[in-house]
Amino acid sequence: MRASVVRALLRKAPDSSLEPGMTQSGSQMDEPLRNAAGGARMSSLFPDHLFVSMLREEGWLVDSERSVRTSSHLETGHAVTTHIDGQVVVRAVSGLEIRDHSSWIDLSRADLESRLTEPLQTLDFDIIRPLLQSHRQQFRIRIRSDSRLVSTGNMARFKDATTITVAMGRDGQETSIVTTPSALREDLLRTMPLLSRGAGTATAPASLPILWTNGSAAVLMHELIGHPAEENRALPRLPEWLEVRDDPFAPGPGHAPYDDTGLRGRMSVLSDGGRPQSLRRESFRDPPILRMTHLAVTRNGASLPLPESRIEVSLVEGGGWDSLTDEISLRVSSAEIVNGSSRKMLAPFSFKGPRVEIVSRIIGANATSVRYPGVICSRQGQRLAVGSSSVDLLVSSGVQ
Amino acid sequence: MIDQSLPQARSSIASVQTYRKRGTTTRVELHNGRASIVEIEEIGESYDSIEEFRSRTVSTQSRSEANISERTMAALASANQFEASVPGSLVLERLVLLSGRADHSIVHEGRANEWTDSFERLHISLMHLDARERVEVEVGGNSLDRTDRETITTIASLLARIGREEVTAGELNLSLAPVVAAALWATLTPWILSGASKGPSALTLDQSIHPVLVRDGNGLMIAPKHLYDHDGGTLWSELPNVFRPSYRTKPVSMPFHIRAHPIQSVVHSHYEAHALLQRFIWTSEGLATRLLCKNPETDSVLAIALSMDPQRWLNSTVGIDPEATWFPNLAGTYGSKTVIRIAAGQWKG
C-alpha cells in the first residue's frame, strides 16, 4: 500500500493553528538545518514565517523611435507559512491586511507599504534607446521588479530584485536574455548583435565538437547538474578540473543572501554532490521549494587547445531535464560553425542526450568565467530567474 | 515599426472594460513524497483597452480562521483518494488538486455583469520507472466526480502493467478513451481555427455548452457555435467568446466546450488507447503522439506511437460515441469513446 502523505495531513490538520513567532520545527534563523543523510536542508525545517511581497511588472514594445507599454501588473500579498507533520501549509491573502500585524512586524502598515514600494524600479529608456539606434527592429521588453519581507516574529528581513527580459524575434524564431538594471547596458551590447542578426541556414554537423561560449555552458550545466541536484539525484562522474556551484551571493538574477524563508543563503558545490540550499518562491501564492540561485561553472588547471573545426554556441533559447529518462535537451538559438578563420551562422538546433553520456563527453575548458544573461527557470509551476556564469566548455561531438 | 498585432493575444475586445475577481482557492500539491497545502484568498482587478492591459491585486482580509478550512479538508480527502488509487509499483511524481470558488464582476461595453463559479480540478503525473514511461492527466471541471476517479484508476492500473507485445503492422482500428479524444480535439482545434484544414471529413466539431460552466471571460452566455465540418472550419476571428483564466492575463478568443458530433460505428477495435504517454507534438510529418494501449483480446498493455498529417487525423475518425466527458483542455473539451482507422506505416507498437 502506498504511504500517504495526504493522510498524515488529514489526521493532523484539525488541531493546527499558527501564532506569530511559533516555529514547529524549532529552527533558529541563520542556522541552516541539515538532514542526517546528505547534509541538505530539508524543506520541512525552515521556520514558520510571514512572507510579504510587492511586485510591479510591465511589458513594453520598443524600437529605435517609440516605446509602447502593452501591459502592467501591480501586486501586493502576504502569506503565513507553517508546517503540519513536516508538510508545508501556506495561507496566502492579497494585499497588506495582515492578521496580527503588530505581532509580526514593527512597522505600521503605511511604513511597510512605503518600504516595499521604495526599491521597485522602472525601465530606463535612456540606457535602451541609444543602443537601439542601429537596430531597425522591435524588441519586447518585460521588467519585473519585486520587494519582499520575511518575518518570523523575532526577526524581519527585506530584500528586492529586478529582472529585465529582452526578446526579439526574426524569421519565426524568438531569442531572449534575462538581465538586471545594472547589467542591462553591458548585456545588450554583448547580445544585441546576436539577437538581431537572425539565425543562419546551415545545419549543425553531428561530427563536430561544441564549444559553449558566452557563459552558455552554465545553461548546459543547469540542466545536467543543477535540476538533478534539486531533486537529489545521483551525480554523474565529472572531470576533476570542473567545479559547479550554486552561489546565492553572486550578483545578478537569483542573488539571495537570505532565502524566501529568511534563512541565510549557503553556497553549495554541486559537483561534489551538494544540493542547492535556497528555498525560493515565485509569489506569495507559492510554497517555498529548493531551487538554484546562481549557477557558476569554473575550472582548475590548464586550458585545452581548441580544435580547428568546431561549433561555437553563444545563446540558448531553452532546455529541460527529464527526471524519468535522465536525458537533457537544449534549444540552441545562436551558433556558428568555425573552421580556422572562417565562420558561418548555423540554423537553430537541438542538443540532447542522456545526462551520463553528455557529462562523459566534456573534454575541456579554455577561458575565464563569463556571466551569461540568465535564464527564467520553471519547475513545479514556479518561474524564477536563475543567474548563470561559466567558463567556455568543450564537449565532443553529439548534435542531434 | 510598432506592430501591436504581433505580440498581443487575439482579442475581440473593442472597448475599455473593468473586471474584478474575488477568489478563494485551495491547492494541494504532492511532489516526490512531499506535500504542501496553499490556501489563497485574493481579489484582483483588470482594465483592458486596445492600448494596454492593466491588472492589480486588491487588498482583502483573511476570512478563515487560523485552522484549516472545510474546503481544504475536503480537498485533502479528495487528494487522499486519488493518491490511494495509484498502485505502489508506480511513482506518483506530482499531484496538484485545485478547489475553489470565484465571484466575478465586469463592466463590458457599458453593461455590468456578475456571476459566480466553482471549480475542482486534478493534475496527476505517474511514472513507471522500469518501463521509462510517464502519463500526465488533467481531469475535473466544476467538481471532481466518479468518472474522473475511474479515469485515473484505469490509467494507473494499465500503466502499472505496461509491457511489450509483438504487433502486426497493417491497418489499425484504434479506440480512443474520452481523455485521449479530448486531447486530440484540443490539439487539432487551434490548427482548424488557423484556416489550415481542408475537407472532406465525416467529423463535425462544435463549441457546445456545459451544464454549469455557462459563461465566458466577459460573463456572456456561451452558445453553440460551429467549428468544423466537411465544408471546412471556422476562423479565430469568428469566435464569439473569450477565455480569461485569471484577472492577471488578457482575455483571448477561445472556443468553449469543444465537442464532436456522434458517428455511429460498428468497427471492431484492435486496441484501446487509454492515455497519452507523450503529449501530441507537431513535427515535420504532422502530429505525433505515443499512447498507452490495451489489447482487449489478450488484455496486454503496450505503447503505440502514431504520426500523421493533421488532416488525416480528422479524416481517420470513423466512430464517436454519443456519451461524452468534459476535460479542462483549453476552455473545456468533451471527449467520447472515438474510433480512428490508421493506415499501415503511420503507427508502430
Chain A, 141-180: which have a CB under 8 Å from a chain B CB? none
Contacts of B2 in chain A (CB under 8 A): 61, 63, 66, 68, 138
Contacts of A281 in chain B (CB under 8 A): none
List the grid coordinates of A19: 501564532
Decide if B79 touches A, using CB distance below 8 A: yes
Of B4, B79, B86, the CB nearest to A2: B86
Of A10, A70, A287, the CB nearest to B76: A10
User: Is pLDDT larger for residue A177 or for residue A40?
Assistant: A177
**CB-CB under 8 Å, B132 with A324:** yes
Give tens-digit pLDDT for B75-98: 999 999 999 999 999 999 999 999
**CB-CB under 8 Å, A136 with B4:** no
Maximum C-alpha span of chain B: 64
**CB-CB under 8 Å, B54 with A93:** no
Decide if B130 touches A, using CB distance below 8 A: no
Contacts of A90 in chain B (CB under 8 A): 36-39
pLDDT at res. A47: 87
Burial class, B112, CB count within 10 angstroms (exposed 0-12 / middle 13-18 / buried 19+): exposed
**CB-CB under 8 Å, A323 with B93:** yes
Query: Per residue in B68-77, is it b (16+ CB within 10 Å) or e — as a string?
Result: bbebbbebbe
Give tens-digit pLDDT for A43-78: 456 889 999 999 999 999 988 888 899 999 999 999
**CB-CB under 8 Å, A286 with B40:** no
Q: Are A248 and A265 in contact (CB under 8 A)?
A: yes
**CB-CB under 8 Å, B42 with A285:** yes
Q: Is B277 helix (H, G, I), strand (E, B) or coil?
A: strand
pLDDT at res. A11: 59
Measuring CA to CA, which residue among B182, B202, B341 is closest to residue B261? B202
Name every residue whose Cβ is closer than 8 Å to that of residue A219 and which is 6 or more positions away in sequence.
A316, A319, A330, A372, A375, A388
Q: Is A227 helix (H, G, I), strand (E, B) or coil?
A: helix
Name every residue whose Cβ is closer than 8 Å to that of residue B315 and which is 6 or more positions away in sequence.
B200, B201, B202, B203
Our CA-based measurement puts residue B6 at a distance from the nearest CA of chain A, in whole angstroms, of: 10
**CB-CB under 8 Å, B84 with A9:** no
List the grid coordinates of A193: 548583435
| pLDDT band at residue A22 under the 50/70/90 scheme | very low
Decide if A14 touches B, using CB distance below 8 A: yes
Contacts of B54 in chain A (CB under 8 A): 71-73
Q: Quick one: CA dihedral A129, A130, A131, A133, positive or negative?
A: positive
| pLDDT band at residue A39 under the 50/70/90 scheme | very low
| pLDDT band at residue A94 under the 50/70/90 scheme | very high
d(CA B212, CA B143): 10
Decide if A6 touches B, using CB distance below 8 A: yes
Average pLDDT over residues B4-21: 57
Contacts of A72 in chain B (CB under 8 A): 52-55
pLDDT at res. A172: 61
Placement of cell 538574477 in the chain: A253
Chain B, 242-301: which have a CB under 8 Å from a chain A CB? 248, 250
Decide if A376 touches B, using CB distance below 8 A: no
Decide if A99 touches B, using CB distance below 8 A: yes
| pLDDT band at residue A4 under the 50/70/90 scheme | low
Closest Cα in chain A to B63: A93
d(CA B240, CA B256): 10
| pLDDT band at residue A133 under the 50/70/90 scheme | confident
| pLDDT band at residue B65 under the 50/70/90 scheme | low
Which of B59, B82, B162, B246 is the best substitution to test chain A (most A C-beta atoms within 10 A)? B59
**CB-CB under 8 Å, A66 with B39:** no
Decide if B157 touches A, using CB distance below 8 A: no
Of B56, B62, B133, the CB nearest to A73: B56
| pLDDT band at residue A26 under the 50/70/90 scheme | very low
Contacts of B252 in chain A (CB under 8 A): none
Average pLDDT over residues B138-161: 96
pLDDT at res. B267: 79
Measuring CA to CA, which residue among B250, B251, B243, B253 is closest to residue B194? B253
The DSSP symbol for A257 reads S
pLDDT at res. A136: 72
Closest Cα in chain A to B35: A87
Q: Are B255 and B227 in contact (CB under 8 A)?
A: yes
Distance (Å) of CA B228 to CA A114, B190, B201, B330: 55, 11, 9, 17
Q: Quick one: CA dihedral A346, B278, B202, B343, positive or negative?
A: positive
Q: Name the amino acid, one letter, at B68.
A: I
**CB-CB under 8 Å, A66 with B34:** no
Decide if A285 touches B, using CB distance below 8 A: yes
pLDDT at res. B70: 86
Indicate whether A40 pLDDT > 60. no
Indicate whether A191 pLDDT > 90. no
pLDDT at res. B285: 87
Q: Name the amino acid, one letter, at A160.
A: D
pLDDT at res. A43: 45
Give tens-digit pLDDT for B16-57: 789 999 999 999 999 877 889 999 999 999 999 888 999 999
Chain A, 215-254: which have a CB under 8 Å from a chain B CB? 231
Distance (Å) of CA B301 to CA B18, B110, B115, B165: 52, 57, 45, 8
Give tens-digit pLDDT for B243-265: 999 999 999 999 999 999 999 98
Contacts of B80 in chain A (CB under 8 A): 4, 6-7, 10
Decide if A43 touches B, using CB distance below 8 A: yes
Give tens-digit pLDDT for B154-167: 999 999 999 987 77
Within 10 angstroms of residue B116's Cβ, the number of other Cβ atoms is: 11
**CB-CB under 8 Å, B2 with A63:** yes
d(CA B225, CA B243): 15
Q: What is the pTM of this model?
A: 0.89
The DSSP symbol for B44 reads E
**CB-CB under 8 Å, A65 with B37:** no
Of A7, A90, A323, the CB nearest to B80: A7
**CB-CB under 8 Å, A381 with B62:** no
Span between the terminal Cα atoms of chain A, in Å: 42
| pLDDT band at residue B10 under the 50/70/90 scheme | very low
**CB-CB under 8 Å, B51 with A14:** no
Q: In A65-172, which ranges are E strands?
A: 67-84, 87-94, 139-151, 156-170
For chain B, the average pLDDT equals 90
Of A70, A77, A93, the CB nearest to B52: A70
Q: Are A293 and A272 in contact (CB under 8 A)?
A: no
Mean pLDDT check: name the lowest of A37-46, A134-143, B325-334.
A37-46
d(CA A398, CA A102): 60
d(CA B83, CA B264): 37
Indicate whether A261 pLDDT > 90. yes
Chain A, 69-88: which have a CB under 8 Å from a chain B CB? 69-77, 84, 87-88
Decide if B92 touches A, using CB distance below 8 A: yes
List the grid coordinates of B221: 452566455
d(CA A142, CA A58): 6
Q: Quick one: CA dihedral B207, B210, B216, B221, positive or negative?
A: positive
Name every residue whose Cβ is closer than 8 Å to that of residue A277 and which is 6 or more positions away in sequence.
A32, A40, A41, A246, A248, A259, A265, A266, A267, A268, A290
Average pLDDT over residues B123-136: 97
d(CA A292, CA A315): 20
What is the complex's ipTM, to 2 decimals?
0.89
pLDDT at res. B6: 29
Average pLDDT over residues A167-192: 82
Contacts of B53 in chain A (CB under 8 A): 70-72
d(CA B46, CA B57): 9
d(CA A311, CA A289): 37
Of B7, B54, B59, the CB nearest to A96: B59
Distance (Å) of CA A28 to CA A24, A32, A150, A243, A261: 11, 8, 14, 31, 12
Chain A, 322-351: which have a CB under 8 Å from a chain B CB? 323-325
